[in-house]
Each structure stands twice: as structure tokens, then as C-alpha cells.
Amino acid sequence: MKRLIIAIAGCLVGLSASAAATPEGDVSEAAYQAWVTDNRMAAQVQAFEAHLASNGVAGVLPTYQILRTSSRWQACKATAFELPPRELWPNVLPVLRYIRTEVEPRIGRVQAVSGYRNPELNGCSGGAKQSAHRNYFALDLVPEAGLSRGELIKEMCQVHRDKGQKGRIGLGFYSGVRFHLDSKRYRTWGADGTGATSPCNGA
């Protein structure tokens, strides 16, 4: 009985952390489809998906997820989804490849909760002036499996040590099980945005 209670408590903690890591407002696929229709974005989105396909990363993550903006889009009076300028599309490709070849084989499926942020939205969201999100180098992610924060840190830090430098991957951790990947440069960071607080230092 004691083990059952502990297991249930662990599941509730995991669910709570996942909920805290997800964006505010409706960022579902249905909301995305409405955004595409309302803004007459079908042709532009098809071109974006063709770009992903021609570079071998179609379907790594659903389009509606990798076009999500900031978790604070409502508070910032922005949109939940945004297609980055075409010249930035190549920047997200290395991150998608890394997710497919290194991340998901290690921790299972992940969900993207934030991608491109235009300069105004990035500033309102509290992002750094030189945030990798501004140029679509970055995705913020949460695991779909019920990993604890400790398990996530252990696995992702090991992947980063083994494979991150070759891919010039940056790895950061937020609260709960939300984490950041970018292809801007090889590094890790933690709560204050510096390497000194990276959980990987002790993992």
C-alpha cells in the first residue's frame, strides 16, 4: 500500500510539472487550424512544410507545435502561432534533427511549446535580447512520458555531453520538466541563464 501511495504521488507531481510547463491559452491543433484559415496562411505553411520535407525533418514534430510562439502570448497580446520569416527557416533544422536522432531515442516523444518569437514578443516574454528564439534557432520542449525533473536532467545532460558539441547544441532548463534546445552554440545554462547554474554541472 505504501508503495502504491508513493507511485500515485509521483504521478501527480509529474502531471503538475507538465501542466505548469505548457503554454497559456488554447494552443491545440484545432486552434492552429483556425489560425491558418483565419489568416489565409495555408500556402505559406505548405511552403514551410515542403522546406522541412526537402531537408529530411518532416514530421519530427507536428507543425502546429513548432509554430507555437511564447507561453505568454495572451499576456503579451500576441498570437499563439507565428510563421517565422522564410530566411530563418533553415535555423530550426539542426534542432529538429537532434530531437529525432538523440533526444527522443533517449527520453521518448517530446512536445514543442515555444519556437519563434518576434522581437516584441520575445521582450514581453522576458527573453534575453539575443535569445535564440528570435532567429528560430530554438525550441522549448516538454517530454510526453512521465519523467521526473531529476530523470530529465540526468538523461538530457548525458545526451548533451555525448552528442551536443558535435551539433553545436545549447541546452537549458526551466522549472519542472520544460527544457530548451537551440543550435546557436554548444553550452548549458540554468535558472539565471548562465552556465554556473546549469543542472548539468552536478548531473
* pTM reported for the whole predicted model: 0.86
Domains identified in the chain and CATH numbers: 2-201 (3.30.1380.10)
What's the pLDDT tens digit per position in 11-70? Answer: 333 333 333 355 568 999 999 999 999 999 999 999 999 999 999 999 999 999 999 999
What's the pLDDT tens digit per position in 112-152? Answer: 999 999 999 999 998 888 899 999 999 999 999 899 999 99
Instruction: Beginning with the edge strand found earlier in the chain, give each strand of the sheet holding 138-143 in spatial order.
Output: 110-114, 138-143, 179-182, 170-173, 187-189
Contacts of 201 (CB under 8 A, 6+ apart): 188, 190, 195
Contacts of 121 (CB under 8 A, 6+ apart): 69, 70, 73, 76, 78, 82
